């Protein structure tokens, strides 16, 4: 007799948050599942942590096998960045494409696409965080039917707010909670339509909430003393409590003989990635390539940094405030840029005459041009890339550096015989970068993705160097003895990705209160398939964490 599997993912849910919250009685349903079943933590890859975890889970393959490293890609032979969206699954289909013998229901997975190989129903981009694909369903009418019956997700593709605007963050939290309630109702509906062999859904609200509410919940973020400590409740915990409640509701519709899996294939922590990868790295490389020049956020080495931005002009937002820190050689222009409203300064700027050419590209100009990456500071430096020995690529997690190599880049200036020297020099520059508030190094490791400059495997990442930042600190100001101080600058999101998730498993044959062996995200798909009694594709790289030999049929 086959036992159905109900798998519920919590996108980027951090185990070091959930474990004490369960122990303290805040997450009663998760605690009950853990007590009645088994638990372990799950490892994932330690770089490209924002871009690849869900593709790793869905395909059962590592990025080195799929060649999918990020939804952003440098278009070959150009300096243009293109948006790939989600992995196409052409070479490696999603693991749940198991044929006609298994009925499968898939609801709202991130970084995924509809597959013709699924025997069942599929709904995508109803409310997932960063779905990376259009809203669609199979059968085609299903998404419209569910939306008409239960409503849209309030935060689909708009699950963000300024981390300094408490009112906006509370509105965002309310949107998450409405979405969670509607997600619960939809999942209960789908579960009752027929006896599925696999029901799989993901709560994306955990991901978004940790990105934007971390500093209102966790004292390890520098903004907590100014903002989070002023609140009478914990907004992040409240979101997780709503999800815990929704899980309890969903489980009332789950067959008694089902295996229930609650999991996260990666986690979240205080944000040590956004500012270093998105801003500090492109600015450091700009100054490295053009000694004596400053693009943005000039600071003074040796001076005690001022307080973090907390009382900045909320209407200007993090992006506008950051752009106001753009360096101008004219002192009056620099003063006005920082101290006048953006719209007013935009009227004044032409009076100063044309600026240096090329110049940083304004994010607001990029937005007017419908550039989807206008918010990525690395893109603001794009006009300089042809003249740089190396430049920073846009990133959602670690720092990515591309060497401007002759014969590979359209205007490459680094010869093959200098490639190694440039990589070595940049690595040392990075290891000397320090958190200006603590004096501690900011870089844990610099990873080479190519052993030789001539490696051209299309499945290699665009980056030649990947910068792994230290995880025990977050900062808004960086010091380099090579290029000077960058910052202080306003914080963006306050939570960022970590490489560890978790797995709770309950069902027939799983001993209550037991521990499972530690696993990897690659092991999640084989585990689900094994519990379903379905074949595991040969291309899957992981192994089941739970073997049916230790289970009894329900």
Please give the structure tokens belonging to residue 245: 């409640």
Mean pLDDT, rounded, for 95-121: 95
Instruction: State the pLDDT at residue 311.
Output: 64
Rounded Cα distance between 177 and 167, Å, is 15
What pLDDT sits at residue 328? 81
In this prediction, residue 334 carries a pLDDT of 73
* Model pLDDT, residue 530: 96
Q: What is the pLDDT of residues 140-150, one digit of tens each?
A: 999 999 999 99
Tokens 């222009």 belong to residue = 333
Give the pLDDT confidence score for residue 106 in this predicted structure.
Answer: 98
Q: Which two tokens stand for residue 8?
A: 């519920």
The pLDDT value given to residue 307: 87
Q: What is the pLDDT of residues 346-392, one digit of tens each?
A: 777 777 666 667 789 999 999 999 999 999 999 999 999 999 999 99
Residues 6+ apart with CB under 8 A from 113: 86, 87, 88, 89, 124, 133
Which helix (DSSP H) or strand (DSSP E) does residue 235 occupy? helix 235-251
pTM to 2 decimals? 0.94
* Range name among 139-143, 221-225, 316-320, 500-504 with the lowest pLDDT average: 316-320
| Banded pLDDT at 552 (limits 50, 70, 90) | very low
Q: pLDDT at residue 66 above 50?
A: yes
User: Is pLDDT of 300 > 70?
Assistant: yes
Q: What is the pLDDT of residue 344?
A: 67
CA-CA distance, 10 to 263, in Å (whole number)?
A: 6
Question: Does the pLDDT value for residue 327 go beyond 90?
Answer: no
d(CA 87, CA 65): 12
Which of 197-211, 260-274, 338-352, 375-389 shows the lowest per-residue confidence on average (mean pLDDT)? 338-352
Confidence category of residue 331, pLDDT binned at 50, 70, 90: confident
pLDDT at res. 510: 93
- Report whether pLDDT(304) > 90: yes
Place of tokens 């007013």: 344
For residue 377, give the nearest of 396, 354, 404, 405 by alpha carbon. 396
Q: Which of 172, 179, 102 is nearest to 147 (CA)?
A: 179
- The predicted structure's pLDDT at residue 319: 86
Cα–Cα distance measured from residue 237 to residue 128, given in angstroms and rounded to the nearest whole number: 20
pLDDT score, position 551: 47
407-465 residue pLDDT tens: 999 999 999 999 999 999 999 999 999 999 999 999 999 999 998 999 989 999 999 99
354 or 238: which carries more pLDDT confidence? 238
User: 102 pLDDT exceeds 60?
Assistant: yes
Measured over the CA atoms of residue 87, residue 89, residue 95 and residue 97, the dihedral's sign is: positive
Mean pLDDT of 502-521: 94
Sequence ranges of the domains in the chain: 5-271+497-550, 274-492
The CATH number that domain 5-271+497-550 falls under is: 3.40.720.10
What does the pLDDT read at residue 296? Answer: 96
Peptide bond into 393 cis (omega under 30): no
Mean pLDDT of 253-282: 97
């Amino acid at each position: 007799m086959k036992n159905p599997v109900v798998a519920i993912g919590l996108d980027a849910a951090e185990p070091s948050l959930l474990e004490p919250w369960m122990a303290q009685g805040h997450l009663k349903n998760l605690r009950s599942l853990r007590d009645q079943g088994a638990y372990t933590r799950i490892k994932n890859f330690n770089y490209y942590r924002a871009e690849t975890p869900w593709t790793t889970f869905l395909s059962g393959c590592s990025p080195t096998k799929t060649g999918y490293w990020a939804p952003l890609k440098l278009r070959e032979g150009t300096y243009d960045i293109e948006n790939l969206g989600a992995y196409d699954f052409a070479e490696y289909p999603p693991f749940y494409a198991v044929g006609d013998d298994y009925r499968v229901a898939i609801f709202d997975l991130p970084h995924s696409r509809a597959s013709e190989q699924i025997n069942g129903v599929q709904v995508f981009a109803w409310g997932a965080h960063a779905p990376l694909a259009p809203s669609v369903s199979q059968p085609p009418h299903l998404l419209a039917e569910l939306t008409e019956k239960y409503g849209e997700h309030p935060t689909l593709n708009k699950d963000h707010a300024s981390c300094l605007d408490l009112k906006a963050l509370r509105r965002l939290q309310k949107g998450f909670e409405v979405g969670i309630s509607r997600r619960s109702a939809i999942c209960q509906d789908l579960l009752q339509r027929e006896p599925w062999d696999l029901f799989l859904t993901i709560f994306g609200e955990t991901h978004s909430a940790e990105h934007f509410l971390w500093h209102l919940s966790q004292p390890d973020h520098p903004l907590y003393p100014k903002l989070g400590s002023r609140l009478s409740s914990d907004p992040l915990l409240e979101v997780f409590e709503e999800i815990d409640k929704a899980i309890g509701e969903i489980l009332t519709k789950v067959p008694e003989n089902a295996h229930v899996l609650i999991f996260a294939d990666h986690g979240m922590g205080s944000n040590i990635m956004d500012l270093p990868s998105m801003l500090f790295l492109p600015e450091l490389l700009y100054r490295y390539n053009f000694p004596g020049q400053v693009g943005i956020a000039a600071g003074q080495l040796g001076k005690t940094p001022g307080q973090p931005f907390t009382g900045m002009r909320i209407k200007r937002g993090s992006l506008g405030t950051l752009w106001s820190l753009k360096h101008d050689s004219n002192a009056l222009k620099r003063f006005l840029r920082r101290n006048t409203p953006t719209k007013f300064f935009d009227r004044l700027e032409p009076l100063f005459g044309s600026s240096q050419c090329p110049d940083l590209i304004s994010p607001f100009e990029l937005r007017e041009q419908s550039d989807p990456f206008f918010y990525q500071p690395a893109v603001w430096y794009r006009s300089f890339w042809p003249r740089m020995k190396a430049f920073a690529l846009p990133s959602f997690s670690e720092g990515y550096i591309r060497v401007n190599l002759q014969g590979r880049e359209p205007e490459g200036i680094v010869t093959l015989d200098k490639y190694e020297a440039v990589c070595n020099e940049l690595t040392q520059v990075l290891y000397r970068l320090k958190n200006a508030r603590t004096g501690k190094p900011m870089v844990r490791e610099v990873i080479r993705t190519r052993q030789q400059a001539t490696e051209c495997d299309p499945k290699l990442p665009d980056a030649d160097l990947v910068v792994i930042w230290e995880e025990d600190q977050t900062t808004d100001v960086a010091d380099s003895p090579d290029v000077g101080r960058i910052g202080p600058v306003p914080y963006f999101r306050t939570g960022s990705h970590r490489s560890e998730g978790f797995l709770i498993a309950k069902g027939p044959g799983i001993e209550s209160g037991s521990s499972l062996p530690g696993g990897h995200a690659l092991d999640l798909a084989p585990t689900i398939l094994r519990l379903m009694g379905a074949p595991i594709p040969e291309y899957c790289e992981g192994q089941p964490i739970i073997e049916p030999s230790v289970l009894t049929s329900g």
